[in-house]
Amino acid sequence: MPTIVVTGGGAGIGLAVARICAARGDRVAVLDIDGPSARASGAALAVQCDVSDESSVQRAFAAVLDRLGAADGVFANAAIDAGGFLHDLPFETWKRVLDTNLTGVYLTCKHALGQMLEAGKGGSIVCTSSPAASVGFAAGAAGAYSAAKGGVSALVRALAVDYAKHGIRVNAVVPGATETRLMWANVPPDAVPEMRRRICQEVPLGRLANPEEPARAVAWLLSDESSYVTGSHLVCDGGILAKASISV
């Protein structure tokens, strides 16, 4: 019975992954900065964890090892989105986004890899990237978020090469517009319905994803069914990256 660790597992895609993995019989640990949300996930182990704080991540993985055994699979998913154009983006905002979205992935991978190497059984790590790692968002004001996700994509490729010889696979999932709280983090509540309508017009499949849709892609990457897949980016974006930006 594999042990799966999900960061940012208290809501959205992370929660959907935790539930899919639990339903197929995995032992699941949910790590989330929001302790009550982590506990509400119903996972075998819930840990309040700030992925930007190494001591917090270290304690969380120690709890996983003690309660569930060494991690076999890890979904490094915790992220925030604080927008703003770079010329007036406060340094504190830039640092908070990079600390959570990139350093948080580094710390999660660091402690997951240490545990996997010690156990000597191989494993699978999946990191959440974004279309923003490859293209600029049309709405703009996503410089910090884009930089962090670009870093995640580069890190995934490097780690895949570094740890392949240990039987550890490292991949990324690239979700598109998904109906989660993070999706609307920078949108005023009264503007959400109109923004949702516009996005649905722009996505080739004509709708936002449900969290369970990219979650199924993650669950596959965490399973032995993807045993020869590493260093890849599994795009689950409704066709966003396939679409030219001009209407001709």
Active-site annotation holder among 106, 145, 163, 228: 145
What is the per-residue pLDDT for 107?
98
What is the per-residue pLDDT for 69?
98
Q: What is the DSSP secondary-structure string of the chain?
A: --EEEEETTTSHHHHHHHHHHHHTT-EEEEEESSHHHHHHTT-SEEEE--TT-HHHHHHHHHHHHHHH-S-SEEEE-------B-GGG--HHHHHHHHIIIIIHHHHHHHHHHHHHHHHTS-EEEEEE--GGGTS--TT--BHHHHHHHHHHHHHHHHHHHHHGGGTEEEEEEEE-SBSSTGGGTTS-GGGHHHHHHHHHHHSTTSSPBPTHHHHHHHHHHHSGGGTT--S-EEEESTTGGGS-SS--
Low-confidence ranges of the chain (pLDDT < 50): none
Q: Which domains does the chain have, with CATH numbers?
A: 3-182+210-236 (3.40.50.720)
pTM here? 0.96
Q: Is 163 an active-site residue?
A: no
